[in-house]
Structure formats: C-alpha cells, structure tokens
Amino acid sequence: MLLLDEPTAFLDMSHQYEVLTLLRKLNRDEGRTIVMVVHDLNHASRFAHQMIAIRDGLVVKSGTPAEVMEPALL
C-alpha cells in the first residue's frame, strides 16, 4: 500500500503525468493499493477508481469519478 500526499506537487505537467502513469502501472500490474491526496480534479478523475470529496473536514461525497464529479458538488 502506498499513502501519498500530493505526489505531483511542484512538478511540471510532463512529470506529473509520468508519476501518475507509474502509480497506475503499480496498481494494475502489481496489485498495489494507492491512496493519495490530489487537489487537481482533472488528475483525480482521470486516474482514480474511487474519489472522496471533502469540504471543511467532512466527507461530502464518495464514489467513482463519474459519481463524484457532478456540477452541483463542484
């Protein structure tokens, strides 16, 4: 299991994509569970299987990216 807090912070776009692609490969090919905090919703919705939206320290929605990325919530 990998627990990551903003693993792409301060990286340029190319390196952000490289890190997220590597994490997806570790998950897919090696079965690693990856839990990470990502504030970039585009990255989160593209690479995550499950998302949790938190506001003021409370979970307001959890589910697949399609379930969480709804206009009323955003």
Query: What pLDDT tens digit does each residue of the chain (74 aa) get?
Result: 999 999 999 999 999 999 999 999 999 999 999 999 999 999 999 999 999 999 999 999 999 999 999 999 88
Predicted TM-score (pTM) of the model is 0.84
Are 14 and 8 within 8 A, CB to CB? Answer: no
Q: Is residue 11 part of a domain?
A: yes
Neighbours of 38 (CB within 10 A): 20
Q: What is the 3-state secondary structure (H, E, C) of the chain?
A: CEEEECCCCCCCHHHHHHHHHHHHHHHHHHCCCEEEECCCHHHHHHHCCCEEEEECCEEEEEECHHHHCCCCCC
* Residue 18, domain extent: 2-68
State the CATH number of the domain containing residue 8: 3.40.50.300
Q: Is residue 74 part of a domain?
A: no
Burial class (CB in 10 A: 0-12, 13-18, 19+), 56: exposed
Q: Is residue 12 part of a domain?
A: yes
Q: How many distinct structural domains can be found in the chain? A: 1
* pLDDT for the residue 74: 86
Q: Is residue 60 part of a domain?
A: yes
Q: Is residue 56 part of a domain?
A: yes
* pLDDT for the residue 2: 97
